[in-house]
Amino acid sequence: MTITGSVGDNSWSPDSWRDREIKHNVEYTDSKELNVQIAKLKSLPPLVPAEEIENLRKQLAKASQGEMFLLMGGDCAETFESCNSNEIMDKIKILLQMSLVMIWGMRIPVIRIARMAGQYAKPRSSSTEVVDGNTVLTFRGEILNGMDVNDRKPDPKRLVEAYFHSATTMNYIRSLLGNNFADLNFPHNWNLEWVKNEDVRQEYTNIIKSLADSFDFMKTIGNNPLAQTVNSIDFFTAHEGLVLEYEEALTRKISPISVNKTNSDSLIKNNLSFSSVADLAKKSNSRNVNEYYYNTSAHFLWIGDRTRQIDGAHVEYFRNIRNPIGVKVGPTMKPDELVRILDILDSNFEDGRVTLITRYGAKNVDKNLPAHIRAVQGTRHKVVWCCDPCHGNTVTSPSGLKTRNLDDITTEIKKNIITHNECNSKLNGVHLELTGDYVTECIGGSEHLEHHTLPTKYKSFCDPRLNYLQSLDIAFMISKYFQKGE
């Protein structure tokens, strides 16, 4: 397999999207200040190096072949206030714990991508909303405007503020992973009192006991490959590439330092740390004279279901960045439209270049996924199939709060697994809106949260998130489901 880039495309530049129609854009009233802030962003260092992006490309190529599994998770939208040590640590911890349970059950390496360090923007269906009887501009995420109704005017300075909050988050993630935070011999200490059903508790207990026994056995013989997957890991970041002024400013033309084949295979096998790729690359004798455009704001970016227009600005921007990219695929996506988007975004037919993040809703999987799978199978594109079981299952509770039912979420995942198997395909990942905190935003799960419990600790200003315990429920379910070969 050869991974190539879209070099030599003179029709594309980081700003060629400006000639296309753009959806969900925000109009700034002070163009002079906007130019000042964009210039500032262009002068700032990259948030992620090209070598880490190349490492993720290789891992997602493995995922598209069924040799790795993708776990993506994080907040619906980050806030500047959530950029604190406890919240960052909790999100990293839950993703690490979920991945270990999944590795144990699925018996393949897990790619960890967090919706963090840049997920500060959200699309909105309307530019205005009514608050207390007054029509005000819609809150679009703190990269653009404020939650307070008196702070809804788009402010270009927020672009730079978002950069520095992303940099702080990234720095703390690196600090945690560089100081043994990922050394989670946690199966010995897990408390399952939150699991209300005795049968389910026993199932979880058996899994945890097996994990703990595996750790103990490998330690005894002095060889612990399980520990390698958590002691020294890759951890990638992602966000929706919605604000193209921001993404353009952080797009840089770079010639990455090559990592020779032996070292890159070792990295993928052992899931080494953030700095490992760069360190090994410096020691490598191989050379790479090609230059590519990398979006250095994140390792992975995706196009939302609302901004994936064939001739639109977002597809134009995404088509030539070197980063692996995602496309949200909903019920309104026609099979032929999906093929056309792939032909634009993956013109070189690179394994794992595009991750299709399907978001149908539990009731719509059977009506949409088979046709989408068959459409892709009729092409040369080798995609990563990733299930987003959250966005299509949002409902309004009797209290008026938006919520999601864990039963619907697990049903959509199971239907994805079954449908892929029936279509001679394979589910390669899951994409979840979750938090490491104990919130009460989704109902169901092993702790049996109900509608009347939602106001207890409902914190989200956007979409409801799985809490820490519900996220573990999902990990256990996936682990058991794959282990049974269903």
What is the SS3 assignment for 311? Answer: coil
Instruction: For residue 257, give every residue at least 6 positions away whose Cβ sits within 8 Å of its Cβ, in sequence order, or none.
Output: 50, 51, 278, 281, 282, 284, 288
Tokens describing residue 198 = 């005795």
DSSP 331: T
Nearest to 34, CA basis, from 140, 157, 151: 157
Nearest to 103, CA basis, from 222, 180, 187: 187
Helix axes 261-270, 276-283, angle to 10 degrees: 160
CB 414 within 8 A of CB 427: no
Q: Binding site annotation covers 30?
A: no
Q: Binding site annotation covers 387?
A: no
Q: Binding site annotation covers 76?
A: yes
What is the DSSP annotation of 1-43?
A: ------TT-TT--TTGGGGSB-SS----S-HHHHHHHHHHHHH
Number of neighbours of residue 179 by Cβ within 10 angstroms? 9
Q: Binding site annotation covers 359?
A: yes
Half-sphere exposure of 325 (CA within 13 A, CB side): 28
Dist CA 207 CA 187 (whole Å): 9
Q: Binding site annotation covers 328?
A: yes
Q: Binding site annotation covers 391?
A: yes
CB 255 within 8 A of CB 289: yes
Strands (E) in 292-422, as ranges, are: 292-295, 300-303, 325-329, 354-358, 384-387, 394-396, 402-404
Number of neighbours of residue 380 by Cβ within 10 angstroms? 10
Q: Binding site annotation covers 433?
A: yes
CB 166 within 8 A of CB 82: no
Helix axes 85-106, 157-177, angle to 10 degrees: 60
Tokens describing residue 73 = 């998770």
Question: What backbone phi and psi angles, to 5 degrees, belong to 361?
Answer: 100, 145
What is the SS3 assignment for 81? Answer: coil
Q: Which residues are annotated as a binding site for Mn(2+)?
A: 76, 391, 433, 463
Q: Which residues are annotated as a binding site for phosphoenolpyruvate?
A: 115, 328, 359
Q: Which residues are annotated as a binding site?
A: 76, 115, 328, 359, 391, 433, 463
